[in-house]
Amino acid sequence: MGANNNWLWTCSETIPSDTQEGQRLVKQLLSKLEEYAWGMSDVFGIHLAAEEAIVNAIKHGNAYHPDKNVQIEMNVGADRVSLRVTDEGPGFDPQEVPDPTEDENLENESGRGVMLIKAYMTDVRYNDRGNSVFMEKVRTQ
């Protein structure tokens, strides 16, 4: 692999804590996945993970603060996709998020996004502070 990882498309953008801005970037990503003929089930998982990560950054990380931004890096290749979403919040410990599948947490809204991201992406890593998530999906179809 070369230094550029042979990406077919890359996007790096800083957006305000506004879910509509996040949706705009998710739409860009989806159109690139379609353009490069990614399969439906991969696209579904990437879409879900990207949306969850961006919404979590805006809602939980930055608490919708108008002066805080979210940095989003997206890369699409022939056989893999990577995303990094970083907010300006205090961060969190992903190990501390309650398991949303346990009976006592079923009614709880929190924790589902983190679980879905892990379920749909091949590799998921958080920085030490917990305000940045890196995720990668290797093409399955």
Name the residue with tokens 């705009």.
24
The two structure tokens encoding residue 124: 């998921």
Alpha helices in 68-137 (DSSP H): 112-120
Is 81:136 a contact under the CB 8 Å cutoff?
A: yes
Neighbours of 82 (CB within 10 A): 20
Q: Give the pLDDT confidence score for residue 4 in this predicted structure.
A: 55
pLDDT digits (tens, 9 = 90+) for 15-36: 999 999 999 999 999 999 999 9
Contact 54, 82 (CB under 8 A): no
Cβ atoms of 57 and 16 within 8 Å: the answer is: no
For residue 55, give both structure tokens: 């919404």
- What is the SS3 assignment for 119? helix
Other C-beta atoms closer than 10 Å to the C-beta of 89 total: 21
What domains lie within the chain, and their CATH numbers? 9-138 (3.30.565.10)
What are the pLDDT digits (tens) for 51-102?
Answer: 999 999 999 999 999 999 999 999 999 999 999 999 999 999 998 888 877 8
pLDDT over 60 at 43, yes or no: yes
Residue with tokens 């070369």: 2
What is d(CA 111, CA 101) in angstroms, rounded to the nearest whole number? 9
* DSSP characters over 44-106: HHHHHHHHHHHHHIIIIISTT-TT-EEEEEEEE-SSEEEEEEE-SS----GGGS--TTSGGGT
